Chains A and B, each alone.
Chain A
Amino acid sequence: NAGVMQNPRHLVRRRGQEARLRCSPMKGHSHVYWYRQLPEEGLKFMVYLQKENIIDESGMPKERFSAEFPKEGPSILRIQQVVRGDSAAYFCASSPGERSGANVLTFGAGSRLTVL
């Protein structure tokens, strides 16, 4: 079981470019979450998705950020026109469906975005 796979692990972008971060959930998990971690700060919830549905995006900035989890393929977190303040570690996590009774998140190793 490969766990939650995120790529790229490191991404460098110049201001104004686009960043695309990918996440493949753990096998058998249908729920995906994205969190952002700034240096010396706690992880901040961004968005919660199920296949083809955004369930809760209350932590996502209203502009430039979007997320999807298509029927086939990984979940994508997309940041358009990046700014220096977007530099952070972005973590994806997955969990089984709600009815399983498990409330535990399995995290990926993270994607570290640096904006020059």
Chain B
Amino acid sequence: SQKIEQNSEALNIQEGKTATLTCNYTNYSPAYLQWYRQDPGRGPVFLLLIRENEKEKRKERLKVTFDTTLKQSLFHITASQPADSATYLCALDTTGGYNKLIFGAGTRLAVHP
């Protein structure tokens, strides 16, 4: 069966450390993988997109890797800040830009001062 899995438990880290979130999927062949941030009571906000032929993408303190052999994406936030506390969602686009995204349930990140 097709699955997309993110760490269900909350990730607690100390301010200044690097947060690493994992997204694993099975039985999908995504053309793109996207990461979104969602705050309580708000809609998701786009962070990064990585294509199937890309290994790594960076944006300021954010880094995403995409391993289509392992069927895994890692999302890193370096020099984390309490303001980074939120739920982070990974989403697969198997339609090549059609935007019918398949979302994971998200991982809640808490950055403590």
Contact = CB atoms under 8 A, between A and B. Distances in A.
Interface residues of B, number: 24
A95 interface: yes
Interface string A29-54: 00101010000111111001000000
A25 interface: no
Contacts of B49: 103-104
A115 B93 CA distance: 32
Interface stretch (B11-19, B38-46, B66-74, B77-85): B38-46
Nearest to B97: A103
A108 B41 CA distance: 11
Contacts of B36: 107
A77 interface: no
A83 interface: no
A104 B93 CA distance: 10
A110 B45 CA distance: 12
Interface string B69-109: 00000000000000000000101010001111111111000
A83 B101 CA distance: 26
Interface residues of A, number: 24
A103 B48 CA distance: 11
Contacts of B102: 45
A41 B8 CA distance: 10
A48 B42 contact: no
Given A42-B104, A43-B103, A45-B101, A104 B34 contact: yes
Given A103-B97, A107-B43, 4 more contacts: A43-B44, A48-B98, A105-B44, A105-B101
Interface of A: 4, 31, 33, 35, 40-45, 48, 56, 91, 93, 95, 98, 103-110
28 contacts: A31-B99, A33-B100, A35-B103, A40-B105, A42-B4, A42-B103, A43-B89, A43-B101, A43-B103, A45-B100, A48-B98, A48-B99, A56-B98, A56-B100, A91-B43, A98-B97, A98-B98, A103-B32, A104-B46, A104-B49, A105-B44, A105-B46, A105-B99, A107-B36, A109-B41, A109-B42, A110-B42, A110-B43
